[in-house]
Amino acid sequence: MSAQFASSRGHAALVGFGAALRQGLAPDGGLYVPVSWPQLTPRQFGDHSALAEIAVPLLEPWLAGDALAPLLPEIAAEAFNFPAPLVPLDADGRLAVLELFHGPTAAFKDFGARFLAACFARLPGAAAGRITILVATSGDTGGAVAAAFHRRPGIEVAVLFPKGRVSPTQEHQLTCWGDNVRSLRVRGTFDDCQRLVKQAFLDPELGARASLSSANSINLGRLLPQAVYYAATSLAIQRRYGEPASFIVPSGNLGNALACLWARRMGLPIAEVVLAHNANRPVPDYLDSGDWRPRASVATLASAMDVGDPSNMERLRALYPGLAELRTAVSACSISDEEIRERIRAGYHDFGQLWCPHTATAAAAWYRLSPERRRARRWVLVSTAHAAKFREIVEPLIGRPVALPDSLVKLFARPAQCVEIAATLDAVRQALQEGG
């Protein structure tokens, strides 16, 4: 039996994993979602605990029948080559932090980007050298994707980012690659970058030259591997305490949260899932009022979650079509910048932890739970980035410098190189053709 994926809008043909990966967005503009949910039991994972081992039984049903299926063990070994440690914050393990920032660019997006790159490199036809990956980024995604695809034969990458709207640390991560990675600093906004990527896909001239693909977070190949760390963590907690895990997920575009909910739907021992949003609050408002009102984003300290119209909302609604059902499945809250600051300070003083603003958003959501609810579950705060990526914010709050992890030290040692372009399709075309 081969796994099938359908568009969340329901007007596109069913496709297998490889095609969903290759296309990114479904032809009707929807997002690919599974048509059925294979059920897994903890026993199927044996005594595996490493991410690369958990990934195989977890993802096998999704790749079934696809050309990539026999390659899954090697794809998983390549993608999951760094750990996701669970750090307890109290003596009886009722509160812990899941650190997802030990990859090459120190944010959880490394998991999805590395898995996607390992898959792309093995897609039939990739060796012919005709794939160009375009990605528009407002921060962490572009760096993770560039790192994952750097020096992969047969694949070129172009990263578009808005001039003057990413932090200096982030800009360096977007421009320190070279070789098969082109960094395009666009004189425009993030919305311009996204528009240019969409236009490039429709451009016959670019299409004739190279087959374009996208690595943005709507790609199924980025979402599925994120279910692996939820499976591994919930199994570890179940084995150790005989209880399911509950997760608080810092959320923007909802890709990370969806991976957690998909893992639960497949039978992994996960109880509650709380979505911790910053001041961008369409999701918490929807759960409260039942009105879906996407809006323009507002700037917050947890900038990677500044999303006013989360694209994965379509996947959330496909999973829980009724509002009542959705309300029992998840809860959500909106955290202010003031609470984020307070949790960064308290994380350091009370627990000796260095939290980035996104992780602090999850901590603030836990802090808002009633004492009974806190005690009733085993809570895991999902830590999405290393504090050093946001040291301009964190250092003044805790009153000491935050050391860079080795991964970031290595990136900073590389020289930056990038091309600045106007926000027009012509400029993108020209930049892609030069030296290509």
Ligand X SMILES: *Cc1c(COP(=O)(O)O)cnc(C)c1O
Q: Is the distance from CB of 259 to CB of 217 less than 8 angstroms?
A: no
- CB of residue 360 to ligand X, shortest distance in Å: 11
What is the DSSP track for 214-269? E-STT-HHHHHHHHHHHHHHHHHHHHHHSS-EEEEEE-SSSHHHHHHHHHHHTT-S
d(CA 399, CA 52): 38
- CB of residue 359 to ligand X, shortest distance in Å: 8
Residues with Cβ < 8 Å from 202, sequence gap 6 or more? none
Closest CA to 62 of 12, 114, 19: 19
How many other C-beta atoms can be found within 10 angstroms of the C-beta atom of residue 242?
A: 8
Q: Select the residue interacting with ligand X from 84, 106, 235, 305 (CB under 6 A).
A: 305
- CB of residue 48 to ligand X, shortest distance in Å: 25
Phi, psi of 33 (to 5 degrees): -135, 155
Mask 76-115, x = binds ligand X (CB under 6 A)? Answer: -------------------------------x-x------
Q: Does the protein bind ligand X through residue 304 (CB under 6 A)?
A: yes
For residue 254, what are its two tokens? 């909802």
- CB of residue 304 to ligand X, shortest distance in Å: 3
Angle at the Cα of 364 from the Cα atoms of 358 and 368, rounded to 5 degrees: 150
Q: Select the residue interacting with ligand X from 233, 234, 253, 407 (CB under 6 A).
A: 253
**Candidate segments 148-156, 247-255, 318-326, 426-434, binder of ligand X by CB under 6 A:** 247-255
- The smaller minimum CB distance to ligand X, of residues 200 and 257, is found at 257
Site size with ligand X, rule: CB under 6 A? 17
* Contacts of ligand X in 334-373 (CB under 6 A): 358
**Candidate segments 48-56, 157-165, 251-259, 408-416, binder of ligand X by CB under 6 A:** 251-259
- The smaller minimum CB distance to ligand X, of residues 18 and 255, is found at 255
Q: Select the residue interacting with ligand X from 137, 173, 246, 384 (CB under 6 A).
A: 384
- Side-chain half-sphere of 328: how many Cα atoms within 13 Å? 5
Q: Does the protein bind ligand X through residue 145 (CB under 6 A)?
A: no
Q: Does the protein bind ligand X through residue 252 (CB under 6 A)?
A: yes
Length of the chain: 436
The C-alpha torsion from 143 through 145 and 149 to 150, rounded to 10°, is -10
d(CA 362, CA 251): 9
- The smaller minimum CB distance to ligand X, of residues 175 and 251, is found at 251
For residue 365, what are its two tokens? 């959501």
d(CA 257, CA 345): 25
- The smaller minimum CB distance to ligand X, of residues 246 and 253, is found at 253
Q: Does the protein bind ligand X through residue 214 (CB under 6 A)?
A: no
Q: Select the residue interacting with ligand X from 24, 162, 221, 250 (CB under 6 A).
A: 250
- The smaller minimum CB distance to ligand X, of residues 175 and 278, is found at 278
Which residues of the shown chain bind ligand X in the complex (CB under 6 A)? 107, 109, 140, 217, 250-257, 304-305, 358, 384-385
